[in-house]
Every structure is written in C-alpha cells, then in structure tokens.
Amino acid sequence: MALLRPPTRALRSLTRSGVPLSTTIPPARLPTIARSRSISIRSSLRQASPAPASEQHAHAHAQPPPPTSSSSSHASTSSSSSLPSITSTDTQVRITWISGIESRYHHVWLRDHCRCPSCYHPKTKQRLLDTFAIPPTVQPERVEATTEGLEVVWPLSAEGGEGSGPGEVAGTGAGTGAGQHVSLFPWKWLRTHSYAPVLSPSTTPYEREDLAGSDKTLWGSGIAAHPPTVQYEEVMSSDRGVWKWVEKISQYGFSFVDGVPATPEATEELIKRIAFIRETHYGGFWDFTSDLSHGDTAYTDLALGAHTDTTYFTDPAGLQMFHLLSHEPSSQGVQPSGGASLLVDGFLAAKVLRDVHPQAYETLSAVRISTHSAGDEATLVRPLLTAGYPILNHDPRTGKLVLVRYNNDDRSTLHLEEGEVEPFYDALRKWQEIITSKEGEYWEQLTPGRALIFDNHRVLHGRSAFVGERRLCGAYVNHDDYRSRLAVLRQKYGKGGVRGGDGGGAGEGRGVWDDAL
C-alpha cells in the first residue's frame, strides 16, 4: 500500500484539449489535438465536486442503408403497417423497424437463441439446445411478424436430425406439424440485441444495469458537504434498505453507514448484507491494529497515499469496508490523533487526465505494470498475466473506463520498451499531480459507529499518519458478487430495472427474455 508523500500543488495552468469529458472513447482513438485554451486541474476538479457524471454513453448508432426488397428471399415474408417488416435471405432474417432502420440476424444465431422450454430451461436460465447440432447452413421454412414478436418456423433438420439431443423437438408450438420447430422472439429483445447494426447504447448486461439505475456522479472535495450515507437499521431490516445502499455505492463509488454497533460481529453482518466476504492472504474478515501482523504498510501507523488495494490480484477486490472500533491513548499515554481517511474519485481523476493530457491518458491505458505482494514469507502474489495490467482499464468493446488499478508501492520492476520509459514516467507524474490535488481529496475522520464502504475498482483510498492505539475491522467483497446483488435488487425495486418481457419464460420472477441473459 502506497506511503503518503507530501501532496504536490495543483498545476497552475494547463491546456485543454478538445477531448470531451467522457470515458467512452477507447484509448486507441484518442486524437492528438491542438490545445486551444488553458485550464487548471483545480478548476476541473471543482466543477465536478460533486456533479452528475458527464459519463454519458454517447454511442453513434450505425445507420444502415435504406431497406430494399430482396429477390433472393428464401422463406415467406410478412409485414403489417403496425409491425416491423421482415424478409429472409439464404443466411439472414432482416427486420425493418418502423423507423426505417434495418437489423440483420443470421439464421444460425436465431436458432441458437431460441428460448422455448425445449431449447432453454425456464428455471435455470441455461441452454438445453445442442448448439453444435445446428447445421451451419440452417434456414427457416417460414418467418412471420406477429404482435408478440418474430415467429420463425424451423424444419426438424435444424435440430441436427433425430436423436441429436435435448434440443430436438417435433411439432413444437401452435399451428405446426410434425417435423417443425417454432421460435418466437419478442420485438423488444431483438431490438436490444441487434448486432448488425447495434441499436442499443449497450449490449452487455452490466452496462445495461448502469443505464437502468442511477447515473454515476463524479465528485471532488466538495462531496464532504453531503456524503452518501445510509442508516444501519434500514440496511439490516429490509432488502429495500440494501438496495438504497448499493445504489449509492454504484452512483458515488462509496457510502457511509451510520449507527453501526462498534463491534466486529455487527460489522461482519453488515457487509454480508451485500454478499459473501472474499478470503485473501489477509484472511476473511479483518480485526486488526498497527502491529505489522502482516507485511503491509496498512498494518502500521504510517500515512498511506491514495491507492487501490490488491492490484497484484488478477481480479482485484471489489468492495472494501472499514469500521473504526476504537482509537485510544498509546501505552505511553500519548493521546490519540490523526488517522483521517482519504478518498479520491479515480474516475474523475481519469477524466481530468484525459481532458488535460490525452497522451498521458493513452499511456496509462496501454502500458502494463507488473505488481506483487511479498511482505509475508508465506506469500508471493502476482497476477496471472506476468506483464501486469494498465492503471486505467477499459471495456474492450465500448471503450468505457471500468477499473482503476493503482498502487505505486506495489509496483514490481518495470519492463518497458525503450521508447516507453520516459512517456510512462511523465504520465505517472501527471496522474499523481491530479490524485494529490486538494480539490480532489475528500478527508473524513472515521469514528466508532460509522462504517465506510467503497468500490475498490473506482475509488482510491488512503489515510493520514496517526498516534495512539487504533483498532479497525473490515472485509472485501468480490465485485461480481456486488454487481449481482445490485442487479437483482434493481429488478425488484428499481424503476424498470433491467428486466425484459417474459415471452414464454417462467411465470414469476426473471423471465427467459430478461435483457441481462
């Protein structure tokens, strides 16, 4: 964990590029733009302290050519003035939406995504159809636009022949004869999952959760006036209370919980309201003092600079909770002082870096850093990829920033190309100047009864040095487990959630056409 250096002053005057404050631009596309006017990091951080995230998903929707009738239509077609029009070629079904945009779906893709009970288990939400029994050249006998969705009638050969497995069904669906199989795809589902072209802002379930829930709010030091906070009793008494809690974590990257009994038992039960505790080489639930019981600076009374934890794991810890149980005079009678907690919004810092120094942003998004944990003789943790990971990690499909992985003190020996060395150190200095700017730092003195939880994939944390005997407890939660809990609670309590129509799935709960499946 990083030792705190004296905070560097904010840059007096920097130039602003034409790159918009959005994390949806893939690093590879970052342009070299002539800078036109000066801006300070201080003013950039103030403007987002706090402010609704400018992280709008500005995807350009591909505009396909105007639909044309196909003379090579293989199967029968159907259209209605109130329904999308459809045609079928030798390889695809083409849907022309009311707006005039055309989506194209391959026959093999449609057959593979049939969600009838014979092809897809309505309870387990797992595929029953043998994908590899589908003929590569599968073609429907008939396609039809209905009020419920796209109906596709397949020949039995589309099942791979008799005895091919659980996907083989004869005479499935109303109005079909022996040797036929009917698939019905809801219009909403088809539009959401259109891939040629992509019509929805996102085609991944986790990103749809973000779109369905609260937008992310970026913040700086001004968040101290109104930090996100929930009450312990509300969280412990109902799932609705947990939903409010995890929504705040999703929106701000952190939340306080007030009214927590100052015991490790109560704190452990609190974090378990979200998900199972993640075991690491530090154990499961921690209850520790500054006794160096582990070979890590966190187990001292030294200051810690802004960093994220477990950068040396292939999958860094997701959520992290701290609860100060006590801060008493030292054995020498020195009165307790210090130990304030530091939080920095890593997503805001990344936005400022890209806005001010796009080349540095690209460097920290591309250069891989190897890290390690080796303070305990019985432990040597390194990520699976020996080259390591960048500080700024993006969704490879959308370019969205999804993970900040930064702890300078855990960095192993750098192995860079000759031409990468100077740009990397230059970019690292610029990053450090931003995350140590006072306008981006939120300091809070923890007290017994107030627990802090934060998203380790987004929020950097640290602390000031302290004197006295301090007892702290807490734990990690896997990010996937947290996101699962968030998604389920949004479906239950959120406005609209991420749930799609059932369209033939289970009668209650999550249907087979849920957008996340």
DSSP string, 395-447: -TTT--EEEE---GGGB------GGGHHHHHHHHHHHHHHHT-GGGEEEE---
**Helix 421-435 / helix 346-356 crossing angle, nearest 10 deg:** 120
How many other C-beta atoms lie within 10 A of the C-beta of residue 59? 15
Region of residue 487 (left: phi > 0; alpha: psi -120 to 50; beta: else): alpha
* Per-residue pLDDT at 318 exceeds 50: yes
Residue 449's φ and ψ, nearest 5 degrees, are 100, -10
pLDDT at 156: 81
Percent of the chain residues past pLDDT 70, beyond the cut:
73
399's tokens: 């370019």
Regarding pTM above 0.85, the answer is: no
- pLDDT tens, position by position, 91-145: 999 999 999 999 999 999 999 999 999 999 999 999 999 999 999 999 999 999 9
Q: How far apart are CA 349 and CA 92, in angstroms?
A: 45
Give the domains, in start order, of the chain with CATH numbers. Answer: 14-43+220-490 (3.60.130.10), 78-192 (3.30.2020.30)
Region of residue 171 (left: phi > 0; alpha: psi -120 to 50; beta: else): left
CA-to-CA separations, 41 to 56, 437, 445, in angstroms, rounded = 21, 8, 26
* Per-residue pLDDT at 316 exceeds 90: yes
Region of residue 470 (left: phi > 0; alpha: psi -120 to 50; beta: else): beta
pLDDT band at 14 (very low <50, low <70, confident <90, very high): very low
Q: How far apart are CA 487 and CA 483, in angstroms?
A: 6
- pLDDT tens, position by position, 339-391: 999 999 999 999 999 999 999 999 999 999 999 889 888 888 888 888 999 99
Least confident interval from 30-39, 167-176, 480-489: 30-39
pLDDT at 334: 81
pLDDT at 137: 95
pLDDT at 337: 83
The residues pairing with 182 across neighbouring beta strands, listed in sequence order, are: 153
pLDDT at 502: 40
How many other C-beta atoms lie within 10 A of the C-beta of residue 44? 27
Q: How far apart are CA 141 and CA 136, in angstroms?
A: 15
Q: Compute the residue count for the chain.
A: 517
Residues 6+ apart with CB under 8 A from 55: 22, 23, 24, 215, 216, 218, 347, 351, 400
pLDDT at 299: 62
How many other C-beta atoms lie within 10 A of the C-beta of residue 449? 16
- pLDDT tens, position by position, 438-495: 999 999 999 999 999 999 999 999 999 988 889 999 999 999 999 999 999 998 998 6
* Per-residue pLDDT at 282 exceeds 90: no
- pLDDT tens, position by position, 248-275: 999 999 999 999 999 999 999 999 999 9
* Per-residue pLDDT at 403 exceeds 80: yes
454's tokens: 């934060």
Report which listed range, 172-181, 202-211, 231-240, 499-508, is most confident.
Answer: 231-240
* Per-residue pLDDT at 294 exceeds 80: no
Residues 6+ apart with CB under 8 A from 60: none
Cβ–Cβ < 8 Å for 381, 313: yes
pLDDT at 127: 97
> How does 68-81 read in b/e, with b if 16+ C-beta sit within 10 Å?
eeeeeebbebbeee
